[in-house]
Structure 1
Amino acid sequence: MTDGGVSTAKAGFDRRLIPPMMLGSILNPVNSTIIAVALIPIGAALGAPPSETAWLVSALYLATALGQPIVGRLIDIFGPRRLFLAGTALVGVAGLIGTLAPDLAVLIGARVLLGIGTCAGYPAAMALLRSEADRTGQDSPAGVLTALALANQTISVVGPLLGGLLIGAGGWRTVFLLNVPLSVAAIVLGALRLPKRPAPARRTGMAGRLDLPGMALFAVMLVSLLLFLMNLRAASWYLAVITVAAGAAFTVRELRAGTPFIDLRVLGGNLPLVATYVRALVAYTVSYAFIYGFTQWTEKGFGLSPFHAGLVQIPMFLVAMAIATVTGRRRGVRAKLLIGAAGQIVACLLMVTLTETSPLWMLLALAVIFGVPQGTNTLALQNSVYYQADSERIGSSAGLLRTFGYIGSMVASAMIAASFGQHATTSGMHHLAWLMLGAGVLYLLITVVDRSLRHVAQPER
């Protein structure tokens, strides 16, 4: 028998699911990174200063950080197929809107829609992995989890290079137009290969299952927090107040709700998963600070062209892929996390020694060292959530992992702004490196004291 084109017979992992899983999961990272090289030409074409075009980055981060756990919860209830198809269709619509946008406001709106549309891919992939494990009675192959991490990691690094090629060939609108064929391919693959799931037996009470008040309070809390992190100044104090108030109301609501959006009682009883989320926030803070902050210094402080600054990142990409490939089939995560923490610390110490007169090979060596945590951390954090999360909430749990990662990106942005000010100077880069080093040490400490990691993904004896 088949179910939506996927065999229901108990066998090994159905590898026909891999192409739509991979394609859906990369829609978010490709749109997160490809815009980096388009900001200058967009500003020149639409007459917008950098302070305004920056919202093209922030809008997608805000929409994604908020949407990931919400869409993930919808996947838990309705199954991955419907949300995957709806989300990838929205990506195509947003791509068309961006391609035809007459002004910056419409373009920002398209980025918001892209953020929402790309929210389904990663939680859907994690839900499919868990459902396949339940169907076959076997853990999902480590190689599939590794491939998922590699696909996201690869596209994150390749995104700016791809964007440069597209802009050179057809202008900045091509970075939006790219979403149309990607959307069509994802819809076709999803419709043909993703398993169908029976509709909920009762539509009544669906609002209760969705916990709309909890989602609304979560939205207010998260948006106010991210806006505060993006505007760290005295005049923004009210955003911190709103965050605290919304957070308190959200906590009360979730503890009282019969079917909470985020079950804080279960989450509070799953301290290993909470520790994983905290680790993700800290790890991505260091990662984003390097990718965006150090890259700015290589252009402004060291004097590289944007193209050559991008090439300096290539060793990190190659090492990360090699590390993830070699370690991916090893089930444990603790060793990966410890290696990643050590790599971050060593890299930050090297950053402190760099100046505008340093030889180019030192920048390349730094990229090589940073490739180690890039290759281990993403994979280990993803696998941790897969094994630690409640199987009934794997979609929303995976979405929360991405949310904490995006909060880390906002913390990194605040660190970069505080360190550089108006210019990416060498002294500012050193200040940023010390902040990153503090985060790296914190990441190491959280990992060392977490005894539960010894048992994550280890076979039972």
Structure 2
Amino acid sequence: MTIHGAQRPFSLGLSTTALSLGAALNPLNSSMIAVALVMLRGDFKLDVATVTWVITAFYLTSAAGQPLMGRLADRFGPKRLFTFGMALVAVTCAVAPFAGSFFLVCLARVFMALGTATAFPSAVVMVRTLSEAAKVSSTRPLARIQMASTAGAAIGPVVGGLLVSSIGWPSLFYINVPLSLLALLGVQFFAPADPPREKGRLGELIKASDLPGILAFTATLVLLLMGLLDALPGYRWLLLALAPAAAALFAWRELKAGRPFLDLRLLGRNRPLLLIYLAFAVFNGVYYIAFFGLPQLFEESAGYPANIVGLLMLPLAAVSVIATPFAARAIDRFGVRGVLIIGVITLLLGAALLGLLVLSYQVWLIVILAAALGLPYSAVSIASSQGMYASTRAEDAGVAAGILQTCRYIGAISATVLIGIFYAPGVDQTAWAWLVGSMIVLSLLALLITILWRPAAKQ
């Protein structure tokens, strides 16, 4: 397989930059919409529960869509899928601001989620060819892609706040048009060429795609996540009860299918990959308790205004971004397992130190604690991506990367559930103490899983 423009000295850098830009769009759009909720409520005359569907629709589609897009990248080529996804984002975001109803806005967010969900799995599939052609470790391009994803989530509220305050909520769609087109053009010119696509009649291709398995998988995730999010008040326990039934149907279908969407037998034998998924979901549960819980604590209990709270949280995201390249170099030197264990131990220490906020809300203390939590995020994120990459067959890299991203969403949503439980009586230092205890327990669980993990191949 050749790389377009292989004679260019920066083909690896340019293609990785384009892939990174595309990978940043999903977390960017999942976070910056939060600052537009008040304006959307006013423009469309909505209540608080209804307006949150603009977030819920994106989360559900992203969580369910990532593995699906990964499987499509494996089957039909990552470059084709990435290009299609970025084109879908550009077209959707160009027309979404003209939506005349809130339903159409939510529908546009669904298409945005589908388009941006193509990026990370496609990028992981292409990394193998890129790193082999450039004769460099795969940790280098993976680190850049992970850093872009982290940066997207981190700067989302800041970028969103500037755009909404100066232009309005439609600007959150418009900004995606040039970004997605830049990513599309960069991949077209500098990314690896896809292998020949599968050929055959449309009916045969659809049959071979295991649509029943895809639908059962999607139903399982949607029921589970809607139940955890309490997206339909009054039906939470029904949704959570239906999720295992859908999961059983999915398992039965995949074990029966000749060409399953997700090979459960192979996955069941791949203990390293399963442990990476589990550890990553638990880790993100800890991280997002801090990411979502601290701003509410600072604003409602400490009394800091919203703009100051944003600045107080910035060190967490900034350190995460800055430390990622160093974590990648550490993987090359000490291996994935070593960095994972150190990262989770640091997470445990950071979670325990957050208990100091029960005693004081001093700015200097908040800044130090937030920055300290950014270190384990960078280490565990890049090490988990590399561990997943090394534990997966080349032909399954896309769907494996998609499931890893779904684990991130499951961890984040689980964190919001815990925050809702402990903050329900009131947002104060007592409630935060209970959340810190939850973070410590989850960190210990993540550490146990990480210690049990062994790489499937030499790192």
Q: Where in structure 2 are the equivalents of 1:1-150 lying within 5 Å?
A: 5-7=4-6, 14-133=12-131, 138=135, 140-150=137-147
1:257 is matched with 257
Deviation at 1:101, TM superposition (A): 2.4
**What whole-Å deviation, never above 9, does each CA across 1:122-155 have from its counterpart, x for those lacking one?**
011101012335657x564432121111111112
Distance (whole Å) between structure 2 residues aligned to residue 424 and residue 407 of structure 1: 24
Distance (whole Å) between structure 2 residues aligned to residue 301 and residue 98 of structure 1: 37
- The letter of the residue matching 1:243 is A
Distance (whole Å) between structure 2 residues aligned to residue 318 and residue 155 of structure 1: 11
Distance (whole Å) between structure 2 residues aligned to residue 13 and residue 189 of structure 1: 10
3-state SS of paired residue (2:117): coil
1:308 is matched with 308
- Does 1:219 find its partner at 2:221? no
Distance (whole Å) between structure 2 residues aligned to residue 359 and residue 313 of structure 1: 14
Distance (whole Å) between structure 1 residues aligned to residue 278 and residue 286 of structure 2: 13
Gaps of 5+ in 1: none
- Does 1:165 find its partner at 2:176? no
How many aligned positions are there? Answer: 453
Deviation at 1:416, TM superposition (A): 1.1
Distance (whole Å) between structure 1 residues aligned to residue 436 and residue 138 of structure 2: 38
3-state SS of paired residue (2:260): coil
**What whole-Å deviation, never above 9, does each CA across 1:272-300 have from its counterpart, x for those lacking one?**
00000001110111111111111111111
Distance (whole Å) between structure 2 residues aligned to residue 280 and residue 170 of structure 1: 37
Q: 2:228 touches 2:236 (CA, 8 Å); kept in 1?
A: no
Deviation at 1:319, TM superposition (A): 2.2
**What whole-Å deviation, never above 9, does each CA across 1:328-352 have from its counterpart, x for those lacking one?**
1232112222222122222222233
Deviation at 1:424, TM superposition (A): 2.6
Q: 2:41 touches 2:47 (CA, 8 Å); kept in 1?
A: yes
3-state SS of paired residue (2:236): helix
Deviation at 1:70, TM superposition (A): 0.4
- Does 1:363 find its partner at 2:366? yes
2:280 is matched with 280
Gaps of 5+ in 2: none
Percent of paired sites with the same residue: 32
- The letter of the residue matching 1:440 is S
3-state SS of paired residue (2:197): coil
Q: 2:254 touches 2:261 (CA, 8 Å); kept in 1?
A: yes
**What whole-Å deviation, never above 9, does each CA across 1:24-56 have from its counterpart, x for those lacking one?**
111111101111222222223322222222222
Deviation at 1:406, TM superposition (A): 0.6
- Does 1:155 find its partner at 2:158? no
- Does 1:229 find its partner at 2:228? yes
Distance (whole Å) between structure 2 residues aligned to residue 427 and residue 266 of structure 1: 46
Distance (whole Å) between structure 2 residues aligned to residue 155 and residue 356 of structure 1: 32
Deviation at 1:357, TM superposition (A): 4.8
**What whole-Å deviation, never above 9, does each CA across 1:138-181 have from its counterpart, x for those lacking one?**
56443212111111111211111111121232122211211111
Q: 1:384 touches 1:456 (CA, 8 Å); kept in 2?
A: no
Q: 1:2 touches 1:8 (CA, 8 Å); kept in 2?
A: no
- The letter of the residue matching 1:383 is Q
Distance (whole Å) between structure 1 residues aligned to residue 375 and residue 356 of structure 2: 19
2:248 is matched with 248
- The letter of the residue matching 1:378 is S
2:448 is matched with 445
Deviation at 1:182, TM superposition (A): 1.4
- The letter of the residue matching 1:53 is V
Deviation at 1:314, TM superposition (A): 1.9
1:180 is matched with 177
Distance (whole Å) between structure 1 residues aligned to residue 403 and residue 7 of structure 2: 30
Q: 1:423 to 1:44 in 2, by over 3 A?
A: farther
1:419 is matched with 422
Deviation at 1:6, TM superposition (A): 4.4
Deviation at 1:258, TM superposition (A): 1.0
Give the stretch that moved more between structures: 299-308 or 213-222. 299-308
Q: 1:72 touches 1:399 (CA, 8 Å); kept in 2?
A: yes
- The letter of the residue matching 2:366 is L
Q: 1:333 touches 1:457 (CA, 8 Å); kept in 2?
A: no
Q: 1:13 touches 1:140 (CA, 8 Å); kept in 2?
A: no
**What whole-Å deviation, never above 9, does each CA across 1:398-425 have from its counterpart, x for those lacking one?**
0000011111111111111111127433
Give the stretch that moved more between structures: 65-74 or 302-311. 302-311
Deviation at 1:227, TM superposition (A): 0.9
Give the stretch that moved more between structures: 401-410 or 354-363. 354-363
2:299 is matched with 299
Q: 1:69 touches 1:397 (CA, 8 Å); kept in 2?
A: yes
Deviation at 1:110, TM superposition (A): 1.4
Q: 2:25 touches 2:152 (CA, 8 Å); kept in 1?
A: no
Q: 1:132 touches 1:140 (CA, 8 Å); kept in 2?
A: no
2:322 is matched with 322
Q: 1:142 to 1:12 in 2, by over 3 A?
A: farther
Deviation at 1:222, TM superposition (A): 0.8
Give the stretch that moved more between structures: 332-341 or 438-447. 332-341
Q: 2:279 touches 2:449 (CA, 8 Å); kept in 1?
A: yes
Q: 1:336 touches 1:377 (CA, 8 Å); kept in 2?
A: yes
Distance (whole Å) between structure 2 residues aligned to residue 133 and residue 144 of structure 1: 7
Give the stretch that moved more between structures: 126-135 or 262-271. 126-135
3-state SS of paired residue (2:259): coil
Distance (whole Å) between structure 2 residues aligned to residue 281 and residue 95 of structure 1: 30
Q: 2:227 touches 2:235 (CA, 8 Å); kept in 1?
A: no
